Chain A
Amino acid sequence: MAAPKTLFDKIWESHLVEEHDDGTCLLYVDRHLVHEVTSPQAFEGLRTAGRAVRRPDATLAVVDHNVPTDPDRVHGIKDETSRVQIEAMLQNAEEFGIELYHVNDVRQGIVHIVGPEQGFTLPGTTIVCGDSHTSTHGAFGALAFGIGTSEVEHVLATQTLVQRRPKNMRIAVDGELGFGVTAKDVILAIIGEIGTAGGTGHVIEYAGDVIRALSMEGRMTICNMSIEAGARAGLIAPDETTFRYIQGRPKAPKAGAYEQAVAHWRTLPSDPGARYDIEVTLKAADIEPQVTWGTSPQDVVPISGRVPDPKAAESEEQRRAMEKALAYMALEPNTPMRDIQVDRVFLGSCTNGRIEDLRAAAKVIAGNKVASNVRAMVVPGSGLVKHQAEEEGLDQVFLNAGFEWREAGCSMCLGMNPDILQPGERCASTSNRNFEGRQGRGGRTHLLSPAMAAAAAVTGKLTDVRTLV
């Protein structure tokens, strides 16, 4: 009998075009997502060499990173450099025959929200994109990872990538999540546990009762932040939840092909006894709502906790890193997290810009007002998410409370468009990175879940959402 295989092993081995003695592999790519920021130099490379895109049908482009979220954007983008970059994307899509969703298309949105929404993301596939949060698509049992622009060019031209085989890591979250604890809290707790380089060189398969019970939205939140744990990709075995999500989506297999596809997808989950290089287990009962205090996603504590003291650091290097982070964040050691006031609240991003995220936040907001010291905004992950939320009346809940209700895009997650923090401003953010300057030079980011962000908007400070609902 063949050795038991992991979900990762199965996908990897079924996409090998070539394997060399030195360990390098030529891996076939099923799906390629493209956006305006990391692709212009790749298309320029093709043009210079007189090369075509090998599979335009397997390539999908959106504009998301630098687009404004002001409704006025359909009349043209004011920022000159953004406009030039977006025009380059439109022209490249046209010239190379690639489908593109522009800002006037309801399907436009953040690339990692659009792919699943359109049924472009499918189990058992290899998916790449010039964006590190491509790991999001692993929620469907697809091997999905971020690549650089030179690799984007390589995939456009050859539909393959030269890669070395990563290792297998399994993280199980057992038990049942407590009241008010969400997928975002789970992944932040995982990163706190293994560290921001804990997954380097590995593909993480998430498993256990908690993961099985999550919706596709929650699973995407988990896989999305695999990169913040240093992993090459995150994976979750496809199951009935996955199939239900996919069925009927525009680019999903149609009747006939769909049944054939599901039969194949059912063979993907890891075999009993499959071997992992690293295994980690967390107990759901130990996970509280989480919030970051520093400038790395691993700088995370439960909301009931305090800002850590560098004096307790394990090494000199760690102490210096903590002191630097605290100085940047303007926080004193041992301050209760619940005493930290915020100026801004950002609800959105490829981590938490899906319909379920907006629903969770709206539930906390309903009947409340945004605190007078806070400016809060909602940026839906896609035009379709925005439309759905409006159908459900969520936009009115946010607007009545004093939130801004904006158009889809990456927005303040990385601050490439006009939505940025001012120096010194403190933000409760549902995004994925709290790096120095990430949301605007001198801006201070606290990562948390949509429900926790909503709670912070209402009280004006970091708050345990469980005390509000």
Chain B
Amino acid sequence: MQPFTIHTGIAAPLDAVNVDTDAIIPKQHLKTIKRTGLGKALFEEWRYHHHGGENPDFVLNHPRFREASILITGANFGCGSSREHAPWALLDYGIRCVIAPSFADIFHNNCFNNGILPVILPQEEVDALKREAHEAPDPTFTVDLHRKVIVRPMGNRELAFEIDDHGRGRLLEGLDHVGLTMVKAQQIDSFESKHRLSQPWLHPAG
């Protein structure tokens, strides 16, 4: 997993609440057995017309935001299905950071397993960032996870955000979470032995 430390890029304002994972990546793309290649289908039904061709009204099709790597959006982003194809599609498109007033739980977890930083800010601050993405001569923001700040394009003003230490640590180091837990095999073994004694019906006989 690619670590997330300091990221500088264009931020696109996606003006919608309750953006569900079906909207992020439609089901016909879930048949892949790979993690990569989903970027072209990100937000497919909003990005392209039914019979092909780009929808010029969709934010990521504006010349200003086409190269975006940060998304600023509405509450409850990523609700619905658990599909990790949603963060895979975002990442494959080039999105490294999503800023919203809140996230759905499973999507939020999935971000941390894919090197995507989900930033939670109060609604007013998200709205202010969205406005700035529209109004700044150059909508380039910097997100600094070391210092937990967003550096805004207009006047280089900084906006602080909170994130839990565990998630932050994992993103900063880009650690393989399976490997980290495998190191604890002994603790898991000893838990399992106790568990087998208290609820033997959950374990194979012998």
Q: Is residue A230 within 8 Å, beta carbon to beta carbon, of the partner chain? A: yes
In the docked arrangement, what's the CA distance between A415 and B81, Å? 13
Interface residue ranges of B58-110 to A (CB < 8 Å): 74-76, 79-84, 87, 102, 104-106, 109-110
In the docked arrangement, what's the CA distance between A148 and B109, Å? 8
Q: Smallest CB–CB gap between A168 and chain B, Å?
A: 15
**Contact partners of A132 in chain B: CB under 8 A:** 80-82, 106
Interface string of B141-184 (1 = CB under 8 A from A): 00000000000000000000000111000000000011101101
Q: Smallest CB–CB gap between A443 and chain B, Å?
A: 11
**Contact partners of A160 in chain B: CB under 8 A:** 181, 188
In the docked arrangement, what's the CA distance between A258 and B202, Å? 11
Q: Which of B27, B33, B164, B178 lies in contact with A415, CB distance below 8 A?
A: B27
**Contact partners of A41 in chain B: CB under 8 A:** 33-35, 84
**Contact partners of B23 in chain A: CB under 8 A:** 435-437
Q: Smallest CB–CB gap between A438 and chain B, Å?
A: 5
In the docked arrangement, what's the CA distance between A167 and B180, Å? 26
In the docked arrangement, what's the CA distance between A230 and B74, Å? 15
Q: Is residue B18 within 8 Å, beta carbon to beta carbon, of the partner chain? A: yes
Q: Is residue B54 within 8 Å, beta carbon to beta carbon, of the partner chain? A: no
| B45-A164 in contact (CB<8A) | no
**Contact partners of A224 in chain B: CB under 8 A:** none
**Contact partners of B179 in chain A: CB under 8 A:** 49
Q: Is residue A260 within 8 Å, beta carbon to beta carbon, of the partner chain? A: yes
Task: Of the listed stretches B5-13, B132-140, B191-199, name the one at the interface; the rest are far from the partner chain.
Answer: B191-199
Interface string of B26-49 (1 = CB under 8 A from A): 111011111100000000010000
In the docked arrangement, what's the CA distance between A149 and B106, Å? 11
| A157-B178 in contact (CB<8A) | yes
Q: Smallest CB–CB gap between A305 and chain B, Å?
A: 21
Q: Is residue A312 within 8 Å, beta carbon to beta carbon, of the partner chain? A: no
| A150-B201 in contact (CB<8A) | no
**Contact partners of A148 in chain B: CB under 8 A:** 82-84, 87, 106, 109-110, 113
Q: Which of B45, B184, B185, B202 lies in contact with A30, CB distance below 8 A?
A: B202
Q: Is residue B204 within 8 Å, beta carbon to beta carbon, of the partner chain? A: yes
Q: Is residue A442 within 8 Å, beta carbon to beta carbon, of the partner chain? A: yes
Q: Is residue A431 within 8 Å, beta carbon to beta carbon, of the partner chain? A: no
Q: Smallest CB–CB gap between B146 and chain A, Å?
A: 18
Q: Is residue A368 within 8 Å, beta carbon to beta carbon, of the partner chain? A: no
Q: Which of B18, B31, B185 lies in contact with A37, CB distance below 8 A?
A: B31
Known: A23-B164, A130-B82, A158-B188. A436 touches B199 (CB 8 A): no
Interface string of A415-446 (1 = CB under 8 A from B): 11000000100000000010111100110000
Known: A41-B34, A230-B104. A317 touches B17 (CB 8 A): yes
**Contact partners of B185 in chain A: CB under 8 A:** 158
Specify the chain B residue showing the minimal Cβ separation from A66.
B31
Q: Is residue A400 within 8 Å, beta carbon to beta carbon, of the partner chain? A: no
**Contact partners of B34 in chain A: CB under 8 A:** 41
| A416-B20 in contact (CB<8A) | no
**Contact partners of A260 in chain B: CB under 8 A:** 200-201
Other A-B pairs, 20, CB within 8 Å; known A261-B199, A264-B199: A26-B187, A38-B82, A38-B84, A41-B33, A41-B84, A84-B31, A85-B33, A130-B84, A131-B81, A146-B106, A160-B188, A164-B166, A197-B76, A230-B76, A261-B201, A296-B20, A435-B22, A437-B26, A441-B45, A441-B50
Partner-A contacts on B (CB < 8 A): 15-18, 20, 22-23, 26-28, 30-35, 45, 50, 74-76, 79-84, 87, 102, 104-106, 109-110, 113-114, 164-166, 177-179, 181-182, 184-185, 187-188, 191-192, 195, 198-204
- 6 cross-chain pairs, A with B, having the tightest CB-CB distances, nearest first: A150-B113, A253-B201, A40-B33, A148-B84, A146-B82, A148-B110
Q: List 25 A-B contacts (CB under 8 A).
A: A17-B188, A22-B166, A28-B192, A37-B30, A40-B33, A81-B32, A85-B31, A132-B82, A132-B106, A148-B82, A150-B110, A154-B178, A157-B181, A158-B188, A162-B166, A166-B105, A197-B102, A261-B199, A264-B199, A414-B81, A433-B81, A435-B23, A436-B23, A438-B22, A441-B26
Partner-B contacts on A (CB < 8 A): 14-15, 17-18, 20, 22-24, 26, 28, 30, 37-38, 40-41, 44-45, 49, 51, 54, 57-58, 65-66, 79, 81-82, 84-85, 88, 122, 124-125, 130-132, 134, 145-151, 153-154, 157-160, 162, 164, 166, 196-197, 200-201, 227, 230, 232, 253, 257-258, 260-261, 264, 296, 317, 320-321, 324, 414-416, 423, 433, 435-438, 441-442
